Amino acid sequence: MSHERFKSCIASCYDCATECKHCENACLDEKDVKMLVRCIKLNSECATMCLFAAQMIAAGSEFANQICELCADICEACAVECEKHGHMQHCKDCAEVCRNCAQACREMAN
């Protein structure tokens, strides 16, 4: 698999990882951090998975399709959780980027 074919998915993964780390840090700065524990954890997991997926796609891994499916699932879970906190702009922005990445990963996996 050539990584050239999947540059947009790789870019979406890197964008998502960046946005998730931003959201994670912004959540940690909120007053009621306890209400955001799941969001913070999913932001961290999603960022890690997106970076891993981008690296495996770029490397032409034979497991890239399966990795991208899992990445899409984690991105969706993160988006759903962030949408619960849509009154905070960083969560709203993160949800949108996560949904875009999930779509890009599903397209790549198929």
The region, left, alpha or beta by phi > 0 then psi within -120 to 50, assigned to residue 53 is alpha
Tell me the C-alpha distance between 83 and 52, whole Å.
Answer: 24
Residues 94 and 110: their CA atoms lie apart, in Å, by 24
Q: What CATH number labels 3-109? A: 1.20.1270.360
Average pLDDT, the chain: 94
Percent of the chain with pLDDT over 90: 85
What CA–CA distance (Å, rounded) separates 91 from 56? 27
pLDDT in tens, 28-39: 999 999 999 999
What is the pTM for the complete model shown? 0.93
Report how far apart the first and last C-alpha atoms of the chain are (Å, whole number).
Answer: 13
Give the Cα separation of 23 and 82 in Å (integer). 9
Cβ(73)–Cβ(67) below 8 Å: no
In this predicted structure, what is the pLDDT of residue 57?
A: 93
Q: What is the pLDDT of residues 19-67, one digit of tens each?
A: 999 999 999 999 999 999 999 999 999 999 999 999 999 998 999 999 9
User: What's the pLDDT score for residue 110?
Assistant: 84
Q: Domain locations in the chain?
A: 3-109
